[in-house]
Amino acid sequence: MTVYAIIGGTGLTQLQGLTITAALNIDTPFGAPSAPVLRGEYAGREVLFLARHGHPHRIPPHQVNYRANLWALKEAGAQAIVAVNAVGGIHMAMGTGHFCVPHQIIDYTSGREHTYFAGELEHVTHIDFSHPYDEALRSKLCQALAAERCEFSSHGVYGATQGPRLETVAEIARMERDGCDIVGMTGMPEAVLARELTLPYACLSLVVNPAAGKSNELITMAQIEQALVEGMDKVKAVLARVLSA
C-alpha cells in the first residue's frame, strides 16, 4: 500500500485528525527540514506529514529548505507526495475558494537551491520534466474533489513566484499572457525535487485571493486568512478521500 506524504502549506501547519505515532527529526545532507516529519494514521492508513513553513508558520517561501524537506520525506518512507498550496487566482474561473489541480508549472523564482544534481558530480544528470505532476495522483485528487462536491478545475498552469511579497498588476498581466491560471510562491523547486527523487507528486491548490489587478480591492491578509479557514475543512476531506481510496 502506497505511503503518502502530505506537505502542508499556509493554513495547514497541522493535520487535525492525524494520530501521531512518531515525530522524526531527520538529518539530511542539505540541512534541517522545516519541521519534524510526523508519522501517523489518517483516514485509516499510514501517512507522513510535513509543515512546509514550519510549525508555527515562520519560514517564508523563499527561505524554505525544499531540498531538505523532500529528502527527509523520502528517508521517512514516502512513496508519493500530495502538496497543499494556497494560491492567487489569475484566470476568471479561479475565484476565492476554488480548487485547482494544476497540470503544468512555470518557474519565475530565482536564487533557490533547486536541484540535487550540483556540486562535485561524477556525471551530469538531466531529468524529463515535460509533465511536472503525476497524472495518476492528479486523477485521484480530482475524483476526491468531485466526490466532496467542491468547485475545482482539473487543469491549470501554476506560476511560481519568488515572494515573500505579492505580485504587481503588471507581473500578473505578464503571467496571464504566459498562460498562468494561478500564482503561488512554493510550487518550485518542490515539484522538480520530487521528480529528481522519483517521487510521484501532485498539487492541491486552494485559491485564497484574486491576483493583483483581478479585483478592485487591495489584497489583505485578513481576507486570505478567512479564505484559508473556510477552505481547510474541504482540503482535509479531500485528503481523507485520497488516502482511503
Q: Where are the domains of the chain?
A: 4-115+128-244
The whole-number pLDDT of residue 122 equals 78
pLDDT confidence of residue 11: 54
> Are the C-beta atoms of 187 and 163 separated by less than 8 Å?
no
pLDDT of residue 15: 66
The pLDDT value given to residue 73: 98
User: At a CB cut-off of 8 Å and minimum separation 6, what does 141 contact?
Assistant: 82, 101, 202, 204, 238, 242
pLDDT score for 223: 82
Which residues sit in the known binding site for phosphate? 10, 52-53, 186
Residue-level pLDDT, tens digit, the chain, 245 residues: 789 999 986 656 556 677 888 899 999 999 999 999 999 888 778 899 999 999 878 899 999 999 999 999 999 999 999 999 999 999 999 999 999 999 999 999 999 999 998 877 777 788 999 999 999 999 999 999 999 999 999 999 999 999 999 999 999 999 999 999 999 999 999 999 999 999 999 999 999 999 999 988 777 778 888 888 889 889 989 998 998 87
Q: What is the pLDDT of residue 14?
A: 58
126 phi, psi to nearest 5 deg:
-120, 140
- What is the spatial distance between Cα 243 and Cα 6, in angstroms, rounded to a whole number? 10
Contact status, residue 116 vs residue 190, Cβ threshold 8 Å: no
> Binding site for substrate: which residues?
185, 209-211
CA distance 61 to 186: 6
Q: For residue 131, what pLDDT is reported?
A: 98
Give the model's pLDDT for residue 212.
94
Binding residues: 10, 52-53, 185-186, 209-211
- Tell me which fold the domain 4-115+128-244 belongs to: Rossmann fold (3.40.50)
Integer Cα distance of 147 and 96 in angstroms: 20
Answer whether 0.85 is exceeded by the pTM. Answer: yes
pLDDT of residue 10: 61
